[in-house]
């Protein structure tokens, strides 16, 4: 996910009771004096999702995202129910550099995660939910929590077991056994590291990359940031994901190798987005791209912002090859409650397209199993699982000759590796 968002000045609150110093500073803290607290998270497309209660309301799901500096809430109507108080309006510029979104600023909210709480939390509330992430992820998502969660305490992310550990800063002084260390540069409250990339068709790169836990790609390279970034062969034109500005378009390929301070990743799936009005901002930061969750989940990571470093080691997925869709389909949710799925996009000349699958077809069954028994993440994994695997779909399509009738089509094809 990519956002260009003006940061907020949090209002000073007068007449507070006398509290410990840290309790008067906006941030996330343990409620009790402990060295660490571990919480399970929902892993959807390798994104870190946790339930959070705001201002005493019911828990709602947030993505914990190192790639944004502000907390963002997607539903104005629910924010009103949670008694958020707004002080002003902001216009946000989407990742396409063109889309302008309206948001309300709520400067002082309480976030409750059980043993952890966020105090004096500012949040941007979108007047309209442009992202509709539940259609993309198959999990209801109400917002993102950014820099505030990571800024004061070391945070360990264990993708293998779906656990996040919140450490007391003073209790985490030494590098744990087997972990490597790499310095980070915090620019605009976002973490950057320098990596080495061996391209398939271009020169080797020394690339400054954003660490973005809220983006579900592997590696992303912005070609406009360097003439040395070369689109590899083979490549596929494709939708690259969802952002505040809408769907990001571009190309997908592979780099030969990515090296993070001695740890190598081979054949990393790499996104190459189209140039847009936001490109100038990227160039000014000196960044050439970003590392997303599809690569980060190959490691166990400790974000240690107070000491300007990231600690990391191989996870259980380290040797797992980087896979890309072999069907040509992008599937999304039309109704989360009813578990109804539809084909959002079909790549031309892909196996699914050649055998008759089309955009906006509703999926009734997958390999004879009704769609209601599938999770979206399982469908995504199936469609990139194994070359030569048979996929049978039963599809419902509007009859072009009769708007009041639908036709059922059966489509069978073999998964085909195209990258």
Question: Residue 324 domain-assigned?
Answer: no
Residues 93 and 111 in one domain: yes
Q: Assess whether pLDDT exceeds 50 at residue 383.
A: yes
Residues 374 and 300 in one domain: no
What is the per-residue pLDDT for 263?
97
In the numeric block, which tokens belong to residue 411? 């489509």
- Give the pLDDT band of residue 97 (cuts 50, 70, 90): low
Closest CA to 96 of 225, 295, 294, 240: 240
Residues 272 and 210 in one domain: yes
Domain end marker among 258, 286, 314: 314
Question: Residue 202 domain-assigned?
Answer: yes
Residues 155 and 203 in one domain: no
Residues 250 and 344 in one domain: no
Q: Assess whether pLDDT exceeds 90 at residue 286.
A: no
State the total domains in the chain: 3
Residues 161 and 215 in one domain: no
CA pair distance 187, 408, nearest whole angstrom: 53
CA pair distance 369, 120, nearest whole angstrom: 48
Residues 67 and 146 in one domain: yes
Long-range contacts of the stretch 203-210 (C-beta < 8 A, 24+) = 203/228, 203/230, 205/229, 205/288, 207/288, 207/289, 208/286, 208/287, 208/288, 209/287, 209/288, 209/289, 209/290, 209/291, 210/67, 210/287, 210/289, 210/290, 210/291
pLDDT tens-digit series, residues 216-256: 999 999 999 999 999 999 999 998 887 765 678 899 999 99
> Which residue in the block uniquely carries the two structure tokens 């901002």?
281
CB atoms within 10 A of CB 153: 25
Instruction: Look up the domain containing 94 and give its range.
Output: 21-170
CB 259 within 8 A of CB 205: no
Pick from 3-12, 65-74, 244-253, 404-413: least confident: 3-12
| Residue 26 φ/ψ, nearest 5 degrees | -55, 135
Q: Assess whether pLDDT exceeds 60 at residue 9.
A: no
> Which residue in the block uniquely carries the two structure tokens 């055998």?
355
Residues 188 and 223 in one domain: yes
Residues 83 and 151 in one domain: yes
Domain CATH for 87: 2.40.70.10
Pick from 93-102, 323-332, 366-375: least confident: 93-102
- pLDDT (average), residues 7-15: 31
pTM for this model (two decimals): 0.89
Domain end marker among 146, 170, 194: 170
Is residue 92 helix, strand or coil? strand
Domain end marker among 170, 196, 212: 170
Domain CATH for 399: 2.30.42.10
Q: Assess whether pLDDT exceeds 80 at residue 147.
A: yes
């Amino acid at each position: 996910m990519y956002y260009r968002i003006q940061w907020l000045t949090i209002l000073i609150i007068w007449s507070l009771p006398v509290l410990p110093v840290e309790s008067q500073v906006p941030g996330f803290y343990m409620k009790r004096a402990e060295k660490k607290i571990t919480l399970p998270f929902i892993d959807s497309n390798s994104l870190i999702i946790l339930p959070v209660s705001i201002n005493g309301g019911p828990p709602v799901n947030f993505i914990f995202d190192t790639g944004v500096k502000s907390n963002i809430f997607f539903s104005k109507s629910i924010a009103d129910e949670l008694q958020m108080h707004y002080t002003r309006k902001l216009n946000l510029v989407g990742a396409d550099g063109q889309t302008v979104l309206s948001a309300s600023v709520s400067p002082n909210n309480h976030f409750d995660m059980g043993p952890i709480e966020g105090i004096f939390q500012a949040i941007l509330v979108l007047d309209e939910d442009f992202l509709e992430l539940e259609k993309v992820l198959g999990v209801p998502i109400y917002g993102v929590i950014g820099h505030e969660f990571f800024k004061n305490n070391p945070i360990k992310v264990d993708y293998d077991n779906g656990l996040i550990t919140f450490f007391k800063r003073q209790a985490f002084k030494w590098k744990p056994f087997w972990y490597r260390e790499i310095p980070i540069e915090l620019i605009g409250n976002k973490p950057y590291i320098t990596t080495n990339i061996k391209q398939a068709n271009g020169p080797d790169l020394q690339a400054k990359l954003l660490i973005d836990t809220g983006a579900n790609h592997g590696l992303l390279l912005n070609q406009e940031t360097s003439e040395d970034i070369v689109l590899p062969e083979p490549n596929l034109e494709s939708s690259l994901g969802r952002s505040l500005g809408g769907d990001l378009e571009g190309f997908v390929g592979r780099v030969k190798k990515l090296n993070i301070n001695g740890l190598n990743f081979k054949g990393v799936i790499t996104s190459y987005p189209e140039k847009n009005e936001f490109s100038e901002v990227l160039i000014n930061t000196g960044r050439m791209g970003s590392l997303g969750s599809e690569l980060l989940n190959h490691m166990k990571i400790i974000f240690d912002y107070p000491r300007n470093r990231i600690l990391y080691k191989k996870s259980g997925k380290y040797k797992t090859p980087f896979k890309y869709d072999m069907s040509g389909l992008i599937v999304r949710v039309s109704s989360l409650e009813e578990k109804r799925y539809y084909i959002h996009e079909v790549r031309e000349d892909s196996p699914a397209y050649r055998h008759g699958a089309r955009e906006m077809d509703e999926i009734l069954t997958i390999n004879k199993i009704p769609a209601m028994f599938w999770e979206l993440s399982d469908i995504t994994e199936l469609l990139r699982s194994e070359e030569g695997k048979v996929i049978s779909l039963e599809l419902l399509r509007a009859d072009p000759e009769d708007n009041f009738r639908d036709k059922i089509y059966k489509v069978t094809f073999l998964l085909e590796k195209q990258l």
